[in-house]
Each structure stands twice: as structure tokens, then as C-alpha cells.
């Protein structure tokens, strides 16, 4: 094990977030590594001291105390204080700030925002001490911040920093990572202390290489549910296919994260329906009273020409922004120690600041955080008070273990307290999904969320980060909370989810949306639903209004694909013996299938029914649309990533050519990005030794 890997795991252990296997790895490494043992000892001592001193407030003359401390060190230890003494001095300063200032108590009231956003690098430890002391003690005494949120921004401290001749700016995280008992890293990931000051990436306070921003894959604690591909079902035995719609898109952006990090994603990270539904399609807007339209289309299956492919498209009604219902939103934000990295809390804050710019007086926002305990950071506030909301977001910091259930309960209490009858009442949970304090079992969390769903408060889940990203748990929570699940891997995705698609993300126009398709055995021998494995319903559930199903947001599209084996095919798709006591009769019809769709209005308990048929002639008598061709290309990539037994003759080259031909207008560049990701996946797959990966059309010299 490398030093930086061990130190990451030590920090997880301090926050009670390490697995038994990780604890054994650390114990084994510490036997032979004095430097990491010293690091662990320092963290343990600091943790004990913090628990003792955490309720103290800072002294008004804190800066002078720092100055005197370093004057004394100069007199006793010489004027140069080079090398290790620099490191010891900086560590002592940070420890003293944390002990005397009691960051655990009042950082959440505003100090941490200033330390996090305005901390700077001085040319010596003395200068650093003065900078930190100023942030702690001036100009607003922190003792008065205990009972009210401090809205003063870091900009007020800029004149002081500039006047002290500060050399540069530390990457955000200098002290933010020192707030939790675990002290995940006193110095920023991109700086080190040399005899002349801070320079670029190098050694940290113990002398080991600084940790990487991404947890190494060998220590990954990410969680995915095992997916078993839907199998072909014979129409004679199973004429009905019933499933709940799914508008989640988390899987696609998570797959993109892996590919952009030059890694093939885990097979179970690729949920094909979420990859397909990441993209918008040009389906017609609904007419009349129904909140959505249905589109049916079919053609030959691209990866198996002996089969056919059928597309089912649902288009949600777009709502005028001026006619959107009033919203009562509660941002439930994970601020535990596991959220410290730039791709977690920092990206979360950036994304939420984009969302705040879209809010109006018609929306109200509250902010609840959870770490060692849950807390109300911002009570319900009108959306036009943007500065107040943004300041609350800026003040968030990471530290402590993850009391997820306590945070969820408090968020729902705040949502219920400010409930808007006939409005959009929603908790927006932003987390890496790691719940490990309090009620943490999936079953208990689901019960809490299902109960609140029945009271009219829905749940949207936003996933962040790497290393311990709990995909399976977050998908389940969003599913049971009548909400959507998104994964935000970069700021562009934050903009897509929280700005460009704000209506579909936060405003539900139909709930418990179920689809049931009856295939005609005269024309279809067997069928397979591609994806939606965890959304399959029993045929009896379709007409049962007590059964939960998926929700559709304003302007949202939902796409499902069926691979169909035509009637008359010699292909064997079932080994079930023929029935002895029943004989099947087939009613003459040109219909290939009939689709039924049930949905409820957001505040209703009784469903409505929509029905439509697709004739066999529609399969071959019409040219395929860009919608059909692009959706099938995305599904084909999903088959390849999943290494599906049903991938047939799928190939990366075919995905690229089909997606390129169907790229269309692509105003936001999402489809062009997809094509680039396919090419990257092809390279990664080939470099891993996969058999049969070929490259076509590449220029040669």
C-alpha cells in the first residue's frame, strides 16, 4: 500500500467510515511504515483534543498569541526555522486554531466559509498564522455568531490579505479538511511547504505524498446492485409486459465519469434505460387534457437483423415558467467527512449556486445538513432572497460521520412545516449516499421516505463523488420517494439538471405512471424489454392504484425499447413444455401490439388510462426517425458495457456511425459528447484485452 492510500484510509477510520477490510490493510501497513504511524498518532491525539475543547470560543487577542508564539520560537530555535520546523510550526498553528477556536461549534455559522474561500498562502508560517488568526478573530467576533447565521462574505478580508504580502492562493480545502475529528489533511492537495514557502504538489505535513483526489479503485467502496438482463419471454405464455417508467439519468453521467477517468465502468453501473433517457427526443407535445403524448415506432434490430426493435416514447407536457406551481424546497445536504473532495461538496455548492439564480419569490428554500448530527442551516426563505441563500451554501463545510436518517427526518419536518397545498413540496437530497450513523438500513430509510411520500412530500436525489458512491441505495430512495435520481459528475451536468432541465427535475406532472403492453401472438413470437430490470411489475399491478410507480416531470421524455422475435421464427426462446389443458386461440388483427398507460395527477389517488396500438405495417412502411436511431445506438452501447448475452452483433463502430447519423441539431452538444465517449470506451475495452474489438475508418499515414 502506498503512503497516500494509507492516509486516506486512516482518515476514514477516524470518521468511522472504514470497512473491516480497510482497517486490516491499514494495520498491516502501519507495522512497517514509521511515517504513517506518526501520521495516525497525530490524528488520534488531535481527535482527542478536539473532543475536549470543541465548546471553547476564540480569544479576542488570538492573533497576538500567534505572533508571540512564533517570536518565542525564533528566539529559541534560530531565525531560519527551515525544513521540518516549518512543518511542525504550521501543524501547531492549525491545531491551535482548531482547539482555541472550536471550529466544530461555530464553523457552520460562517467562519468556515471565510477560511474555505479566502485562506491564502503566506511566505512563512508566521504570515500564515497571522492570516488564519485574522480570519478567526476579525472583524466580527465569532462569539456573537453562535446564535445567528453570519452573512459576511470573504471579500471583506481581502484588504487584510493583500496588505500582508501574501504570495498566492491555496486551493480550496486548506482548513476545510481540518474541521472533522479525522483531520483528513491539513494542507491542500496541491501545495507543499518548503524552506521558502508553499510550492506546487509535493509532500504533506508528515512527508508522505499527498492523496490523490480520487480514491484508488482497489479501495473503492462504491455500491451497485447486481443487474440480471431481462430475458426473452414467449408471447404464448406471457403476452403482457408491465413496468414502471423511469426518468432517472444517474447511470449515464456515472458511466461518463468512469470513461473520462480512463476506466471501464462496472457492468452493473450501466442501467440501459437511464442511459437512453439521459437524452431528450423530439416527440410531439400532448394535446387535450392528458399531460403527455405516446409515440410508437419500429424497425429491424440493429444488432440482430433477425429481430425487430420497437420504441415506446412518452413526452411530458411543457409548462410555462410563469404557470409553475409554488414550490417548497428543502435542500438536504450531506456534509460528512466523506464529502470533502472537490468532486463532492465543492461541486455540490457550485451546482446549487446555479440553481439559486433560477429561483423566484414563488419558490421557498430551506437548507438542512447532516454529518455528526443534523442541523437547520437556513430556514425556509423566499427564492428571490438569493444572497441569503447563497451565503448559507457558501458556509457549508465537510466533517464528521454520516447521520443520514436524522437529516432526512429533519428535512421532512421542515418541508411539512412549510407545506404548500397544491404546490411542489420536495426534499432535494445531495450526497455520495454513505449513511452509517443512526437508521442506516435500506429498509428503514425506505419506510421513512414512503411514509412522507404519502403525505405529499416528494424526494429528488443528487449523487456526487467517487470512491464510496452508493448508487444502489440512492436509486432506491429516489424511487420510493416519488422523485428522480441524478449523478452530477461535473459543473455542466449540474447546470443540465438544475438549470436547463429544472422543470423536469423538480416539477412532477404525473405520478405512478405504469405501462402495460400486450403483444399479438399472430405477429410476435417473443419479446425482451431492454433495461428497466428493477422496474418490472406484475401484470396485476397495472390496475392496482395502490401500487407505486414512476413519476414524470414537466417537459420530460421517457423512452423504452423492446427487442422482438417475429412470429414464424425458428428461434428457440423457451424450454417450457406445451400446456396440456389449454389451447391458445388468436384473434385476427393487423396490430403488432397495444400499449396501455396509467397515471395519476400529482395530488390524485385514482388513475387515468391512455391506450394506443401499433400495426405491423408501421414497422417497415416508414423510415426510422432520429429518435429511434439515436436511442437504439445508446442502448447498443449499454449492451456492450454490460457485456450482455443479448448484445448480438453489437459493435462500437456501429454505435458511432448510427449515433453520428442521428445526431441532429444537438444544440447542447450532449450527443456529440456521447459519440466521443463511445470512442473512448472502444479504446479502453481494446486496451483491456477484449476480443473482437476492431477500429474502422481511422486515417493512416
CA distance 93 to 335: 25
* 3-state helix/strand/coil string of 640-684: HHCCCCCCCCCCHHHHHHHHHHCCCCCCCCHHHHHHHHHHHHHHH
Instruction: Give percent of the chain above pLDDT 70.
Output: 70
What is the spatial distance between Cα 175 and Cα 131, in angstroms, rounded to a whole number? 12
- The answer to whether 633 and 659 have CB atoms below 8 angstroms apart is yes
Give the bridge partners for 169, in sequence order: 120
Identify the residue whose cell numbers are 420504441.
311
**93 in Cβ contact with 133 (< 8 Å):** no
Q: Where in the chain is the domain with CATH 2.60.40.1230?
A: 233-319+509-571+585-687
Task: Tell me 292's DSSP state.
Answer: E
Report pLDDT for 92. Answer: 52
Residue 374 pLDDT = 63
Rg (CA), the chain: 28
Q: How far is the C-alpha of 102 from the C-alpha of 115, rounded, in Å?
A: 14
CA dihedral 557, 563, 566, 570 (to 10 degrees): 180
Cell triple for 90: 504550521
Q: What are phi and psi of 72, to 5 degrees?
A: -65, -40
Range list for CATH 3.40.50.410 in the chain: 326-476+486-506
- CB atoms < 10 A from the CB of 200, how many? 7
319: its cell numbers: 409548462
* Euclidean distance between CA atoms 307 and 291, whole angstroms: 33
Cβ atoms within 10 Å, residue 574: 14
C-beta atoms surrounding 632 within 10 Å: 25
Asked if 255 contacts 681 with a C-beta cutoff of 8 angstroms, the reply is no
Coil, helix or strand for 50? helix
Distance of CA 516 to the CA centre of its chain: 30
DSSP state string for 58-119? --TTHHHHHHHHHHHHHHHH-S---THHHHHHHHHHHHHHHHHHTHHHHGGGTHHHHHHHH-
Instruction: Report the run of H or E that residue 608 belongs to, with start and end.
Output: strand 608-615
The three cell numbers of residue 563 are: 427487442
From edge to edge, which strands make up the β-sheet containing 557-566? 233-234, 524-530, 557-566, 304-316, 292-301
Contacts of 565 (CB under 8 A, 6+ apart): 232, 306, 307, 524, 525, 526, 527, 571, 573
Neighbour count for residue 63 (Cβ, 10 Å): 19
Helix, strand, or coil (residue 633): helix
| Structure confidence at residue 298 (pLDDT) | 93
Closest CA to 400 of 312, 337, 461: 337
**Which phi-psi region, left, alpha or beta, contains residue 207 (left: φ > 0; alpha: ψ -120 to 50)?**
left
Cis peptide before 139 (omega within 30 of 0): yes
Q: How far apart are CA 87 and CA 79, in angstroms?
A: 15
Is the CB of residue 617 less than 8 Å from the CB of residue 630? no
CATH class of 326-476+486-506: alpha beta
**Sign of the dihedral defined by the CA atoms of residues 436, 438, 444, 446, in that order:** negative
Say how many C-beta atoms besides its own lie within 10 A of residue 20's C-beta: 7
314 in Cβ contact with 558 (< 8 Å): yes
Q: Cα angle vertex 683, ends 681, 685, to 5°?
A: 65
Smallest CA-to-CA distance from 627 within 304, 308, 297, 302 is with 297
Within a 13 Å sphere around the CA of 235, how many CA atoms are in the beta-carbon half? 23
Supply φ then ψ for residue 334, to 5 degrees.
Answer: -75, 115
Q: What's the grid cell of residue 193?
A: 511547504
Task: Return the bridge partners of 608, or none.
Answer: 599
Ranges under pLDDT 50 in the chain: 53-58, 60, 63, 78-81, 83-84, 95-219, 437, 700-701
CA proximity to 598, closest of 515, 530, 527, 526: 515
Q: What is the pLDDT of residue 61?
A: 53
Q: 0.85 cut: is pTM over it?
A: no
Task: Please answer whether residues 476 and 548 qualify as being in contact, where contact means their C-beta atoms are separated by less than 8 angstroms.
Answer: no
Please report which residue ranges of 197-278 form alpha helices under DSSP H: 250-260, 272-276
Residue 408: the pLDDT is 84
Query: What homologous superfamily does CATH list for 233-319+509-571+585-687?
Result: Gamma-adaptin ear (GAE) domain (2.60.40.1230)
Amino acid at each position: 500500500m502506498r503512503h497516500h492510500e494509507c492516509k486516506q484510509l486512516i482518515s476514514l477510520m477516524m470518521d468511522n467510515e472504514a470497512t473491516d477490510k480497510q482497517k486490516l490493510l491499514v494495520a498491516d501497513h502501519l507495522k512497517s511504515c514509521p511515517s504513517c504511524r506518526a501520521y495516525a498518532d497525530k490524528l488520534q491525539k488531535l481527535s482527542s483534543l478536539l473532543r475536549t475543547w470543541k465548546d471553547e470560543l476564540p480569544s479576542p487577542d488570538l492573533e497576538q498569541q500567534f505572533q508571540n508564539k512564533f517570536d518565542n520560537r525564533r528566539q529559541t530555535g534560530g531565525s531560519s526555522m527551515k525544513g521540518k520546523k516549518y512543518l511542525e510550526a504550521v501543524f501547531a498553528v492549525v491545531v491551535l486554531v482548531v482547539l482555541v477556536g472550536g471550529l466544530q461549534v461555530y464553523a457552520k455559522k460562517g467562519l468556515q466559509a471565510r477560511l474555505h474561500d479566502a485562506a491564502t498562502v503566506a511566505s512563512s508560517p508566521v504570515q500564515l498564522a497571522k492570516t488564519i488568526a485574522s480570519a478567526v478573530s476579525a472583524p466580527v467576533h465569532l462569539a456573537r455568531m453562535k446564535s445567528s447565521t453570519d452573512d459576511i462574505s470573504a471579500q471583506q478580508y481581502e484588504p487584510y490579505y493583500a496588505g500582508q504580502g501574501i504570495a498566492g492562493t491555496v486551493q480550496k480545502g486548506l482548513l476545510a479538511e481540518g474541521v472533522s475529528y479525522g483531520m483528513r489533511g491539513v494542507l491542500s492537495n496541491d501545495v507543499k511547504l518548503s524552506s521558502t514557502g508553499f510550492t506546487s504538489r509535493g509532500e504533506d505535513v508528515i512527508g508522505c505524498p499527498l492523496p490523490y483526489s480520487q480514491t484508488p479503485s482497489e479501495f473503492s467502496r462504491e455500491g451497485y446492485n447486481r443487474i440480471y438482463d431481462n430475458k426473452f419471454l414467449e408471447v404464448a405464455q406471457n403476452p403482457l409486459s408491465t413496468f414502471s417508467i423511469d426518468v432517472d439519468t444517474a447511470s449515464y453521467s456515472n458511466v461518463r465519469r468512469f470513461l473520462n477517468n480512463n476506466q471501464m465502468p462496472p457492468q452493473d453501473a450501466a442501467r440501459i434505460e437511464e442511459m437512453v433517457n439521459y437524452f431528450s427526443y423530439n416527440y410531439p407535445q400532448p394535446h387535450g387534457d392528458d399531460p403527455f403524448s405516446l409515440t410508437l415506432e419500429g424497425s429491424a434490430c440493429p444488432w440482430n437483423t433477425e429481430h425487430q426493435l420497437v420504441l415506446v416514447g412518452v413526452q411530458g407536457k411543457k409548462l410555462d415558467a410563469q404557470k409553475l406551481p409554488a414550490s417548497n424546497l428543502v435542500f438536504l445536504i450531506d456534509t460528512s467527512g466523506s464529502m470533502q473532495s472537490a468532486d463532492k461538496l465543492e461541486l455540490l455548492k457550485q451546482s446549487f449556486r446555479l440553481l439559486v439564480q433560477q429561483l423566484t419569490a414563488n419558490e421557498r428554500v430551506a437548507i438542512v445538513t447532516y454529518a455528526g448530527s443534523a442541523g437547520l442551516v437556513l430556514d425556509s426563505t423566499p427564492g428571490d432572497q438569493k444572497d441569503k441563500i447563497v451565503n448559507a451554501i457558501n458556509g457549508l463545510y465537510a466533517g464528521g460521520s454520516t447521520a443520514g436518517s436524522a437529516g432526512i427526518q429533519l428535512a421532512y419536518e421542515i418541508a411539512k412545516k412549510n407545506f404548500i397545498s397544491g404546490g411542489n413540496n420536495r426534499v432535494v437530497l445531495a450526497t455520495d449516499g454513505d449513511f452509517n450513523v443512526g437508521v442506516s438500513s435500506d429498509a428503514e430509510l425506505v419506510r421513512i421516505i414512503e411514509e412522507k411520500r404519502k403525505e405529499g412530500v416528494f424526494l429528488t436525489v443528487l449523487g456526487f463523488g467517487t470512491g464510496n458512491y452508493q448508487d444502489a441505495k440512492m436509486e432506491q430512495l429516489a424511487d420510493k420517494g416519488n422523485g428522480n435520481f441524478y449523478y452530477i459528475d461535473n459543473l455542466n451536468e449540474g447546470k443540465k439538471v438544475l438549470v436547463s432541465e429544472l422543470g423536469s427535475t423538480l416539477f412532477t406532472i404525473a405520478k405512478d405512471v405504469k405501462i402495460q403492453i400486450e403483444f399479438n401472438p399472430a405477429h410476435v413470437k417473443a419479446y425482451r424489454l431492454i433495461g428497466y430490470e428493477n422496474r418490472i411489475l406484475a401484470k396485476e399491478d397495472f390496475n392496482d392504484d395502490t401500487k407505486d410507480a414512476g413519476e414524470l416531470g414537466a417537459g420530460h421524455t421517457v423512452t423504452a425499447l423492446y427487442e422482438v422475435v417475429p412470429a414464424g421464427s425458428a428461434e428457440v426462446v423457451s424450454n417450457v413444455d406445451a400446456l396440456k389443458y389449454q389451447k391458445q386461440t388468436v384473434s385476427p388483427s393487423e396490430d403488432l401490439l397495444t400499449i396501455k398507460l396509467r397515471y395519476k395527477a400529482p395530488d390524485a389517488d385514482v388513475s387515468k388510462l391512455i391506450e394506443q396500438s401499433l400495426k405491423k405495417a408501421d414497422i417497415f412502411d416508414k423510415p426510422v426517425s432520429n429518435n429511434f436511431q439515436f436511442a437504439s445506438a445508446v442502448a447498443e452501447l449499454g449492451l456492450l458495457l454490460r457485456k450482455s448475452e443479448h448484445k448480438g452483433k453489437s459493435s462500437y463502430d456501429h454505435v458511432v456511425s448510427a449515433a453520428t447519423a442521428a445526431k441532429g441539431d444537438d444544440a447542447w452538444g450532449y450527443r456529440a459528447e456521447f459519440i466521443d465517449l463511445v470512442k473512448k470506451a472502444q479504446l479502453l475495452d481494446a486496451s483491456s484485452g477484449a476480443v473482437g474489438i476492431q477500429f474502422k475508418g481511422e486515417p493512416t499515414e
